Chain A
Amino acid sequence: MPQQTTRDVVIVGGGLIGAAVGFGLQRRGLSTVILDEGDVAFRAARGNFGLVWIQSKGSGSPDYVAWTRRAVDAWPDFAAELADLTGIDVGYRRPGGFHLCLSQAEVEQRGQMAQRVSRHQREDGKTVMVDAAAVRERVAGLGEAVVGASYNPLDGDCSSLALFRALHEGYARLGGTYRPATAARSIRTAGGAYRIETDAGAFAAPKVVFASGLGLNHFAAQVGLPPLVRAQKGQIIVTERMRPFLDLPISQIRQTPDGTVLIGDTKEEVGFDTASTMGGMIELAQRAVRALPRLADTRIIRSWGALRVLTADGLPLYEEAAGWPGVFFLTSHSGVTLAPAHAIAIAQWVAAGEMPDELQAFSATRVQAEKVA
């Protein structure tokens, strides 16, 4: 029998979700190992914009509205806990946030979305449409091209890189084992537990969490689930440091505490190519300069494409595979916003085994019906 490492839970994937769930499980006293790939992999966490965002989450899904709200409510305590444990300030703030519309058509489309979402939002956190004058009160130097915006007072942001690092530091401090360059290949049952074969030996546990982003489909097939996710490309431009000029996040433009400005919002349906396209970069730059003309003279430091992990309907997916008790599939393209929910509620579910009612709406059964395109 080849050597095998045994834990309470094996977590496949060391991105924002795997690290948050691992952190939460260690905190509950379980012994876990996170299996991750090497230095170069398709990592959605690296393309993250850092928004802690509710204004557009849950159009058509009251459950998602409630789930996101719960996560945002947990954020202040969660950020404080991470800082206490690791000494890393993830820079969370909640000043409210805008999504800018650069044409009347965009205003109308956004308005419809706001109406659908706000129907399910609580009174103190409703997404509303505002005119350009209202945006101008909060954002100096707004371009003439801005016609209006959507706004939610509970929107905020953090440093997604600091969060990523804090989750990993915290996980290590709580005794978790992180195994890089240990890409998982297969799962099978073995003597009342599960056995995960990897590039670097086998791992056994009574429970397995797959949080492997675009790699989920590979394991879904092994337990009889349909394909769960697809890739969607997003591009981000980062500028040189500027004096602080923007003290609240805009979904397309955000200034980080160290002064750099992140610009993003393209949605390109492509395969597994993470190169930056010239056209995508130009479009981002054009929209950014129209929204905030002062950005025109700011130098771009780099741009990159990262792959978002999306389910067919854009909602998170949390599933304990039928016939494979203790085998969990987790994905969401809101790894930052939902980090506290993953560390608390999802970890509790994985530890206890009983799916809470609030998560029923996110099970994979909905995917069975639709099939991912």
Chain B
Amino acid sequence: MSLPAPCPTHDLIVVGAGPAGMAAAECAAGLGLSVALVDEQPRPGGQIYRATGASPLADASILGPDYQRGAALVEALSRHRIECFYNATVWQVTRDREIGLLVQGQTRLLQGRAIILATGAMERPVPIPGWTLPGVMTAGAGQILLKSAGLMPSASVVIAGSGPLLFLIAWQYVQAGVTIAAVVETTPHGNYLRALRHLGRALKANEYLRKGVALIAGLKRAGIPILRNARHLRAEAGADGRVARLHFRTGNRDRSIECGLLLLHQGVVPNTQITRALDCSHDWDALQRCWRPRVNEWGATDVPGLWVAGDGAGIAGARAAEHSGRLAALDAARLLDRIQPSERDEKAAPDKAALAHHGAVRPFLDTLYASAPDILVPSDDTILCRCEEVTAGDIRHFVALGCQGPNQAKIFGRSGMGPCQGRLCGLTVAEVIADARGVPMEEVGYYRIRPPIKPITLGQLADLDIPQEAAE
């Protein structure tokens, strides 16, 4: 049994110990703030640097030099007195900056004078017919198994989709000795042309481009077929009910490839569950096809005392995340009167310059890897909401009955009402509604997200005392 937090327990609570969260916590602690750092994983690193310093892979160099960068951040973190809560699930964040935690089955409330959300990105769900079959998972989920459990698939693997991570994951598997039957790329040919006009600016951060070119070259040297401009992906089950092959179309040709494991990927999008639950304003990013919380140059949202740093505020990558984490920490320290605005601005200058550098490559990458229309707006027979098995056709039917947005669709067909709280269908359901109504995404909106943000049991919730102000 833990007590409710009657007053702030920390100056700053940082949610998420990826690059943004680690940098923010380190910076704030260095300025004398009392800091709590909270993460679901057993150790810092986030998704990108997962299990940094403790990789179960015999040879962590499989994961590449970027992965080692995480070790430096973890090391910097350890030099400060920061109260770290690992293996901790955040199930509630309130506008009063209370944070409900679940640590080893125990509920706990913290309260910060300031909160920095560094909850990063999540993979864009890839609803194709058959994506719910056993043996189909997102490429990121496959990568997590490789990083934290050292699990390597024995069946032949097909990696399908689009985005820079597609080639990185394929390369990591090849390095680990896994057979990759093919990389099936869905990037439409037209994207290359459209991306060209952003190439000049992207060359300012050409380390990204060099890395991508090297990955693709490496895959080709390893003899991995890369099939481009694939459309109409469909996973088919074998006799055992597991995925057996991937069907798709390139040019005018229907093709199929046998596979025992199908990894799907369409890039990553900000994880906005907490900012949505807090009713922060969000803006539609038409290029990245995702919502991002509305923040200023420091990452401050329109909820007082709440910042978002890293990919959670818009996809910019791990290196940019570190800098945005520090900017949020500096601004939080300024709000709490630990530093003057002038000092904040002075300390922020290098981070702002670095952010601009890392941002230079985004328009090129985002244009090149924009998802194909048939993936954003799937065919009628495709399941969108896996929890409640609602198809794109169902959603179109609800629109015909007068549904204006995802919240009405939820009432009509339960989409988004399952355990994932709409994480896996929110964007697609809204895209299908916007397409069917012929209106922009801004007019359609997003699910209202309800606590708990992550499931907790009734018993765990009942263990808490009722906070005073709420009991009145």
Contacts and interface: CB of A to CB of B under 8 A. Distances in A.
A40 interface: yes
A282 B412 CA distance: 29
Given A39-B408, A300-B457, A178 B401 contact: yes
Interface in A126-175: 161, 164-165, 168-169, 172
B452 A38 contact: no
Contacts of B459: 285, 289, 295-297
B467 A161 contact: no
Interface in B322-378: none
A275 interface: yes
Interface stretch (B216-224, B232-240, B260-268, B442-450): B442-450
B201 interface: no
B358 to A, nearest CB: 36
Contacts of B419: 240, 299, 301
B402 A288 contact: no
B279 A275 contact: yes
Given A165-B412, A180-B404, A279-B471, A298 B466 contact: no
Interface in A289-336: 289, 295-304
A180 B433 CA distance: 14
Interface string A239-250: 110000000000
Contact of B458 (A39, A165, A300): A300
B408 A279 contact: no
Q: Which of A39, A239, A277, A280 lies at the interface centre, i.e. has the most chain B CB atoms within 10 A of its CB?
A: A39
Interface stretch (B26-34, B92-100, B114-122, B179-187): B92-100
B357 to A, nearest CB: 39
B7 interface: no
A45 interface: yes
B414 interface: yes
Contacts of B382: none
Interface in B433-472: 444-445, 448, 450-452, 455-459, 461-462, 464-467, 469-471
B421 A301 contact: yes
A45 B408 CA distance: 11
Nearest to A295: B458
Nearest to A161: B411
Given A180-B404, A276-B450, A280-B470, A161 B455 contact: no
Given A39-B405, A39-B407, A180-B408, A299 B470 contact: no
Given A39-B408, A180-B404, A304 B444 contact: no
Contacts of A237: 458
A181 interface: yes
A239 to B, nearest CB: 7
B142 interface: no
B457 A38 contact: no
A281 interface: yes
A277 B472 CA distance: 12
B450 A179 contact: no
B402 A179 contact: yes
A22 B383 CA distance: 32
B418 interface: yes
A46 interface: yes
B284 to A, nearest CB: 15
B472 to A, nearest CB: 8
Looking at chain A, what size class is its interface with the partner chain?
35 or more
A282 B94 CA distance: 14
A300 B464 CA distance: 15
A178 B402 contact: yes
Contacts of A300: 452, 455-458, 461
Given A39-B404, A278-B98, A278-B470, A296 B421 contact: no
A367 to B, nearest CB: 29
A163 B465 CA distance: 37
Contacts of B405: 38-40
Contacts of A38: 404-405
Contacts of A295: 458-459
A158 B419 CA distance: 22
Contacts of A301: 417-419, 421, 455
B456 A40 contact: no
Contacts of B401: 168-169, 172, 178
B276 to A, nearest CB: 12
B288 to A, nearest CB: 22
A285 B402 contact: no
Nearest to B453: A302
Nearest to B455: A299
A275 B279 CA distance: 9
B412 A276 contact: no
A302 B458 contact: no
Given A39-B444, A180-B403, A288 B458 contact: yes
B406 interface: yes
Contact of B462 (A45, A180, A296): A296
B455 A240 contact: yes
A360 interface: no
Contact of A302 (B403, B450, B457): B450
B452 A298 contact: no
A303 B448 contact: no
B467 A286 contact: no
Nearest to B91: A300
B462 A303 contact: no
A73 interface: no
A69 to B, nearest CB: 29
B281 to A, nearest CB: 14
Contact of A285 (B421, B450, B461): B461
A283 interface: yes
Q: Which of A180, A282, A295, A298 lies at the interface centre, i.e. has the most chain B CB atoms within 10 A of its CB?
A: A282
A237 B92 CA distance: 14
B402 A289 contact: no
Contact of B445 (A39, A164, A299): A39
Interface string B370-407: 00000000000000000000000000000001111111
9 nearest interchain CB pairs?
A: A279-B470, A39-B405, A296-B459, A285-B461, A299-B455, A285-B462, A302-B450, A178-B402, A286-B462
Given A180-B408, A276-B450, A289-B462, 19 more contacts: A39-B403, A165-B411, A178-B401, A180-B403, A240-B419, A263-B458, A278-B98, A278-B100, A278-B467, A279-B466, A285-B459, A285-B461, A295-B458, A296-B458, A297-B458, A299-B419, A300-B452, A300-B456, A303-B450
27 contacts: A38-B405, A39-B403, A39-B405, A39-B444, A39-B445, A40-B405, A178-B401, A178-B402, A180-B402, A180-B404, A180-B408, A278-B98, A278-B466, A278-B470, A279-B467, A279-B470, A280-B470, A281-B461, A282-B464, A288-B458, A289-B459, A296-B458, A299-B419, A300-B455, A301-B417, A301-B419, A302-B417
Interface of B: 92, 94-95, 98, 100, 279, 401-408, 411-414, 417-419, 421, 444-445, 448, 450-452, 455-459, 461-462, 464-467, 469-471
